[in-house]
Amino acid sequence: MAVETTPTRGTRKSATTKTGRTRQQLQPRRASGATLIDPERRRALIAEAAYFRAERRGFAPGHEAEDWLAAEIEVDTALTVGVLPSGKPAVQ
């Protein structure tokens, strides 16, 4: 439940939530020029990138988390820039 504060001296203060955070603080943050992507699409891109990383090292076991984390960085960087490593646009 948001509580609206009373404006004072011509300025309007931001509404705050029960946790004391403003609505603006609760909004997803965007990097400059970045677009929002569906979480399931992001997860699919990460899974694909992690698979190809595992394939390149011959699917040796014990590196799954490392592959996933590296793939997350790769995909998030690509989404921020706007182009995937394949050269395709990040958001279609």
pLDDT, tens digit, 9 for 90 and up, residues 56-78: 999 999 999 999 999 999 999 98
- Residue 22, domain member (yes or no): yes
Residue 18 and residue 42 in one domain: no
**81 band by pLDDT with thresholds 50, 70 and 90:** confident
Residue 38 and residue 22 in one domain: no
**2 band by pLDDT with thresholds 50, 70 and 90:** low
User: Which residue segment(s) compose the domain that 41 sits in?
Assistant: 31-81
**Which pTM value belongs to this model?**
0.53
Q: What are the backbone angles phi and psi of residue 47, rounded to the nearest 5°?
A: -60, -40
The count of domains in the chain is 2
- Residue 87, domain member (yes or no): no
* 37-54 tens-digit pLDDT: 899 999 999 999 999 999
Residue 76 and residue 45 in one domain: yes
Residue 46 and residue 77 in one domain: yes
Instruction: Give the Cα separation of 67 and 23 in Å (integer).
Output: 36
Helix extents (H) in 1-92: 23-26, 39-56, 64-81
